[in-house]
Amino acid sequence: MTYVAAIDVGGTTMKGGLVARDGTILHLEHRPTPRAEGPERVIAAISRFAADLTRPWAGSSAPSPGPGDLAEGARPVAVGLAVPGLVSPTHAVFSAAFGWRDVPAAAFADVDLPVALGHDVRSAGEAELAYGGGEAHVLYLPIGTGIAGAVVPSGALYGGAGGWAGQIGHVPVWPDGLACGCGQAGCLAAYASGSAVAARCGVPGAEDVVRLAAQGDARATAVWAEAVEALALALATYTLVLDPAAVVIGGGVSQAGDALVVPLRERLAARLAFRPAPDVRTSRLGPLAGLLGAALLGWTAQG
């Protein structure tokens, strides 16, 4: 069996694995992203992860879900890396989340295999199209440490003139609002990203905000409601400009399920007076969309 090594770099966690061409994940690992330690430490951690995944398989731990599918001594045929920020095929040009600029692909994976570098959200969008039964006109919107979108008009991803298309997380929903890490004020990400809602409630993660809101905590209820309203405002603008058939929510915050999707559908519909709202649903691939997108990058590099 042939397979690729894939790494999806998130603001909190990196997912790495070995993936067959049909999308079967043969081996999966999670490692922390040392974002607080600076960009060089993050780059080093990614490189170490890539090196570990591309070593000859030693059979030291059972791969999942198919033990025995990997022959001892076998190696992946290529590496796919999905990272946030502005990305070219050869460089991670800029990432506000990690503070790096113009990092060559080889710095992330110094291995003797073909390596493909891609944008994390667009790669996840590609996986949604390939494996998730994605619609022809869709916005794929992962919400995790930050927020970005993969714009899919007419069944193909759109990157824009300079690769910046889909930066919906930095749409100013309240122009004089909270400061955002990008340098602007009032951005969607400052209200609705997982890191933002957690920080505003003083808890470790967005899942804690959802839990506290369900228990009636006043602060968590207010923060979550404001996050949903910010999403509705941004998506109403997106809908009126590009007329998607669906908005697919991915990333860690999508695990909130109905606590997110039900009020978001209602508020988005209320913001669109003269036209129906697009369908809003969670990703069928869940938190593995980015990893599968990185694997698709690897298969492209392998040829």
Examine the pLDDT at 232 and tell me if it is beyond 90: yes
pLDDT surpasses 50 at 153: yes
The answer to whether residues 84 and 119 touch, using CB atoms and an 8 Å cutoff, is yes
Task: Return the structure tokens found at 292.
Answer: 């599968």
Q: Which domain holds residue 100?
A: 3-124+288-302
Is 175 in contact with 162 (CB distance < 8 Å)?
no
Residues 108 and 43 in one domain: yes
Q: What is the CATH number of the domain that holds 27?
A: 3.30.420.40
Mean of the per-residue pLDDT values of the chain: 90
Do both 73 and 30 map to the same domain? yes
The pTM for the full model equals 0.82
Same domain, 152 and 188: yes
Q: What is the pLDDT of residue 278?
A: 95
Residues 66, 151: Cα–Cα separation, whole Å: 34
Per-residue model confidence (pLDDT) at position 50: 95
Q: What is the pLDDT of residues 4-14, one digit of tens each?
A: 999 999 888 99
Confidence of residue 164 (pLDDT cuts 50, 70, 90): confident
129 found inside a domain: no
Same domain, 106 and 163: no
Instruction: For residue range 95-150, list pLDDT tens digits in order.
Output: 877 889 999 999 999 999 999 999 888 898 889 888 877 677 889 998 988 898 88
pLDDT in tens, 189-217: 999 999 999 999 999 999 999 999 999 99
Note whether residue 267 is domain-resident: yes
Is pLDDT of 62 > 70?
no
Q: Are residues 89 and 149 in the same domain?
A: no
179 in the same domain as 267: yes
pLDDT in tens, 91-100: 998 887 788 9
Pick the residue with more confidence: 188 or 63?
188
C-alpha atoms less than 13 angstroms from C-alpha of 200 in its C-beta half-sphere: 25
Domain membership of residue 208 (yes or no) is yes
Is the link from the previous residue into 34 a cis peptide, with omega within 30 of 0? no
How many domains, the chain?
2
68 and 159 belong to one structural domain: no
CB 144 within 8 A of CB 207: no
Residue 109 sits at φ, ψ, to 5 deg, of -150, 90
% pLDDT > 70, the chain:
95
Residue 74 lies in a domain: yes
For residues 293 and 252, membership in a common domain is answered with no
Core vs surface per residue 155-182: b (16+ CB within 10 A) or e: eebeeeeeeebbbbbbbbbbeebbebbe
On whether both 119 and 146 belong to a single domain, the answer is no
